[in-house]
Chain A
C-alpha cells in the first residue's frame, strides 16, 4: 500500500505546474477584478460581519471569467 493519499502520476504534476506558471501573468491582467474580490472578502471580515460561502460570489465570478478569457487569449 502506498502513502495514505495516493500521488497523481508525474505527467499530471507537470501539466499542473505548467498551468500554474501562467497564473501570475493572468493575475496581472485581471488585477482590477482580483482587487474587487479581495476588498469584498476583507470587508466581510470586519466588525460583526460574518464571512460565509458565496458572500462574494459575484466578484469571484467576474474574476474567474476574466481569467478564462485571458487564458484563452494567451493560448
Chain B
C-alpha cells in the first residue's frame, strides 16, 4: 500500500470527504461542496446533480468480495472475452503507444492480451484494492493505481491511449467521466472502451418483472440501468471526441437456470449496486421468476440464455493531422453524375 497516495487510503466515512476535496481541486464546478459535510448520505459529485444512480462504495465492496472468492477465475469468461476484443481494436491501429491507461482494469483482462510493441507502459486503475493485489502476468511494465473511474488523478495531456473494458456502466456521471478521459489524453490520442448496453440481461429483467407483478402486484428494478447506443454517441461527441465509432456486439451465454445467472453475475463482481435496487427478493418471487424465465426464454435442451449487449466505442482527441470535414463548396463531383461514373472513368483513361 506504500505507493498509494494518502488521500486514496482514507477510511470510508472520510473517503467521501477526501474525494470531495480532490474533486474541488481539479474541477472548478466542485467548489463550495467542501463546506457541506456529507457524512453518511448518498454522495453526489454535484450537490444538485441528478446523476447519482449507483452506490460506488457498494460496488467497491462487491468487487473486493468477488475477487476474494476461492474460485474467482471461473467467472472471468465474459470479461476475458471482452478484454480480448478491445485489444483487437487496439491492434487495428498501427501505432506504438508509449503510455496507456486501463480504467476499471479488474484483474488485467486487457493487459494479458497486449504486447510490448503496442503499449510500452501501462497504468491500471480500479476502485477495488483486492482486485489490484492479484493481477494477471503481463510482459508490459505496469503501475496500479487505486482510484475511482469518475475521479482520475492524472494531469491533462498525459496518455496516448486510454482503454476501458466493462467498468463504465457503473459510473454515475458518465459525461464527466468522458470529459476527464478526454482531458487526460494527449492530442491525437485515442480512447477505446467497452461497456454494457441497454439490452443486456433483458431476459432476466423481464422474468423478474413479470414474476413480481404476478406475485406481489408491482415491481421494482433489479437489473441496473444501462446506456443506450444513441446516447453513447452524443456523450462522446459532447466530451470532445472526434472520429467516433460505436458498434454493438451481443454475447449470448447459456446457463442451467436463473440462479446460475445470478450467481455468475455476483462472482464477476457485476451485482447490482444502484440506489434504486430492491435488496430483498422473496423466495416465491424467485421461484416464479425461475419458472417464467425457463418458459419464456428457455432453450430446447433446458438451458436458459442470458444476453450481454456490449457497446464498443472508439474516440480520438482532435489533432491537425486528422482528416477534417471538407469546406462547403469544394466538391469536384456531383451525386447526380453517379450514373455516368463508368463513362467518366473510361474517358479519363483515354
Contacts and interface: CB of A to CB of B under 8 A. Distances in A.
A1 interface: yes
B287 A52 contact: no
Given A37-B292, A38-B294, A64 B284 contact: yes
Interface residues of B, number: 26
A35 B287 contact: no
B213 A37 contact: no
Interface in B204-263: 210-211, 213-217, 256-257, 259-260
Contact of B40 (A1, A24, A44, A55): A1
Interface footprint category on A: 20 to 34
B217 A53 contact: yes
A34 B213 contact: no
Interface of A: 1, 3, 5, 20, 23-24, 27, 33-35, 37-39, 41-42, 44-45, 51-56, 60, 63-64, 67
Contact of B295 (A34, A44, A53, A54): A34
B211 A27 contact: no
A54 B284 CA distance: 12
Contacts of A33: 291
B215 A38 contact: no
Nearest to B291: A34
B279 interface: yes
Given A35-B291, A37-B291, A56-B214, A24 B279 contact: no
